[in-house]
């Protein structure tokens, strides 16, 4: 990482004039957030844009777009709004924390307060659980229920644990994710919410109140009175349903070489186990369906040399590359944003092959 850089990596940015979504490489420094277009695995100079952080306000979580739950919104002193999407809740929160620190960099006391807030817990006084649940049921501003899948079973009218925590924060019922987890656990204790599926049911066995609710994008919950479960008959489960039923173990933005045109595009990769699949999504699209993917059973994964352009790679793309060869001998060339990230992905994939 360059001197003075607080954080860098891929984010998906909404355009100002035409509200389309494009992947950009972002570089955060103490008073600016600069973003670049990427070509051939390298950022293109000059930068596409620069966000001055002095006087900025940040909203995270931002729920302005229903189909993009991992947004950060920045509003500058001139009231220009920027919408940035991360690849996971953890990555979104890490960006939000660093950006908030950069905004308040000239106020050491504020930065220390942020660090304390991140590691502290205090439930708001005199909170009414009934008031929260009533607002959760609101058709326009409440928590959105929809069918969700876990391990081949479809659960109707459910929502993600992480989505509920996002909602509690955005509605100012809590000030931190830790408070959100504890408040959600209280809602379960009072039988307002029910856990659904293997992940969330398993957490109930914990004796610690703060650990009974999972702030997780794979844990499902529902309103206690609306719990319905539909087991998909084995013969009706499509291949894609089976592929997507595994537990998510890793996700993030990576660049991938196309099979036909051999051009490079950034995709959001999601690694699942039981069954082991690696899927990739187009982050510029609203629908949450993979544009491709493959089984990892019998696959081989390896790092490619960093000196020069490796065999099989088209264009002047170098550095942090790795290759996955599937059981049916299909080759996937992928580029991480750093050597550390490449090692993490290779190790995670190897465990599932």
Query: In this structure, what CATH number is given to the domain that contains residue 195?
Result: 1.10.10.10
The answer to the question of residue 67 being in a domain is yes
Domain shared by 59 and 24, yes or no? yes
Question: What pLDDT score does 245 carry?
Answer: 78
The answer to the question of residue 100 being in a domain is yes
At 67, which CATH number?
A: 2.30.29.30
Question: What pLDDT score does 125 carry?
Answer: 61
Domain shared by 256 and 345, yes or no? yes
User: Which tokens sit at 242?
Assistant: 């089976």
The answer to the question of residue 22 being in a domain is yes
Over residues 238-254, the mean pLDDT reads 80
The answer to the question of residue 228 being in a domain is no
Least confident among 32-46, 133-147, 287-301, 314-328: 32-46
Could you read off the pLDDT of 70-113 as tens digits, one per residue? 999 999 998 999 999 999 888 998 999 999 988 887 555 555 55
Over residues 230-237, the mean pLDDT reads 39
Domain shared by 113 and 10, yes or no? yes
As separate numbers, helices (DSSP H) first and strands (DSSP E) second, the chain gives: 8, 19
Domain shared by 136 and 108, yes or no? no
Domain shared by 164 and 244, yes or no? no
Question: What pLDDT score does 63 carry?
Answer: 85
Q: Choose one of 98, 118, 138: the last residue of a domain.
A: 118
Domain shared by 104 and 151, yes or no? no
Question: What pLDDT score does 126 carry?
Answer: 63
Q: Choose one of 192, 223, 254: the last residue of a domain.
A: 223
The answer to the question of residue 328 being in a domain is yes
Alpha-carbon span 180 to 148, nearest angstrom: 22
Domain shared by 145 and 216, yes or no? yes
Domain shared by 189 and 107, yes or no? no
Tell me which residue range forms the domain holding 342.
Answer: 240-351
Domain shared by 145 and 79, yes or no? no
User: Which tokens sit at 186?
Assistant: 């209280």
Q: What whole-number percentage of the chain has pLDDT above 90?
A: 39
User: In this model, does residue 13 exceed pLDDT 50?
Assistant: yes
Question: What pLDDT score does 228 carry?
Answer: 44
Domain shared by 276 and 315, yes or no? yes
> Predicted confidence band at 227 (pLDDT cuts at 50, 70, 90)?
very low
Could you read off the pLDDT of 253-264 as tens digits, one per residue? 999 998 887 888
Domain shared by 49 and 100, yes or no? yes
Over residues 166-186, the mean pLDDT reads 86
The answer to the question of residue 230 being in a domain is no
The answer to the question of residue 235 being in a domain is no
User: In this model, does residue 229 exceed pLDDT 50?
Assistant: no
**Taking the mean position of all CA atoms in its chain, how far away is CA 11?**
10
Least confident among 26-30, 166-170, 302-306, 311-315: 311-315
8 Å CB contact between 255 and 275: no
User: Which tokens sit at 94?
Assistant: 């890490």
What is the DSSP pairing of strand 57-62 with strand 146-150? unpaired
User: In this model, does residue 18 exceed pLDDT 80?
Assistant: no
8 Å CB contact between 279 and 244: yes
Domain count, the chain: 3
The answer to the question of residue 103 being in a domain is yes
> Predicted confidence band at 205 (pLDDT cuts at 50, 70, 90)?
low
Domain shared by 346 and 247, yes or no? yes
User: In this model, does residue 44 exceed pLDDT 90?
Assistant: no
Could you read off the pLDDT of 308-324 as tens digits, one per residue? 778 888 877 878 999 99
Question: What pLDDT score does 233 carry?
Answer: 41
Q: Among residues 136, 132, 222, which one has the least CA distance to residue 183? A: 132
């Amino acid at each position: 990482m360059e001197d003075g850089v607080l954080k860098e990596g891929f984010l998906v940015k909404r355009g100002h004039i035409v509200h389309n979504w494009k992947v950009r490489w972002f570089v955060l420094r103490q008073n600016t957030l600069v973003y670049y277009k990427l070509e051939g695995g390298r950022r293109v100079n000059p930068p596409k844009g620069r966000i001055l952080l002095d006087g900025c306000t940040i909203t995270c979580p931002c729920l302005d777009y229903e189909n993009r739950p991992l947004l950060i919104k920045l509003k500058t002193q001139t009231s220009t709004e920027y919408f940035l999407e991360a690849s996971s809740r953890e990555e979104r929160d890490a960006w939000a924390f660093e950006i908030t620190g950069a905004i308040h960099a000239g106020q050491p006391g504020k930065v220390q307060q942020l660090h304390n807030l991140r590691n502290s817990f205090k439930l708001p006084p005199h909170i009414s659980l009934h008031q929260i649940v009533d607002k959760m049921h609101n058709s326009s501003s409440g928590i959105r229920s929809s069918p969700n899948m876990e391990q081949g079973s479809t659960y109707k009218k459910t929502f993600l644990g992480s989505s509920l925590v996002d909602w509690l924060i955005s509605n100012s019922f809590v000030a931190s994710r830790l408070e959100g987890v504890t408040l959600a656990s209280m809602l379960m204790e009072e039988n307002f919410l029910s856990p659904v599926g293997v992940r969330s049911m398993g957490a109930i066995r914990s004796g610690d109140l703060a650990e009974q609710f999972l702030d997780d994008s794979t844990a499902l919950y529902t309103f206690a009175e609306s719990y319905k479960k539909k087991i998909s008959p084995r013969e009706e489960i499509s291949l894609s349903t089976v592929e997507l039923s595994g537990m998510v173990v890793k996700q993030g933005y990576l660049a991938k070489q196309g099979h036909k045109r051999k051009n490079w595009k950034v995709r959001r990769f999601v690694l699942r186990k039981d069954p082991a699949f690696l899927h990739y999504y187009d982050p510029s699209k609203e629908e949450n369906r993979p544009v491709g993917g493959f089984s990892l059973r019998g696959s081989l994964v390896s790092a490619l040399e960093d000196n020069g352009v490796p065999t099989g790679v088209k264009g002047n793309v170098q550095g942090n590359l790795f290759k996955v060869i599937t059981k049916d001998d299909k080759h996937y060339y992928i580029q991480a944003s750093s050597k550390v990230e490449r090692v993490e992905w290779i190790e995670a994939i190897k465990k599932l092959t």
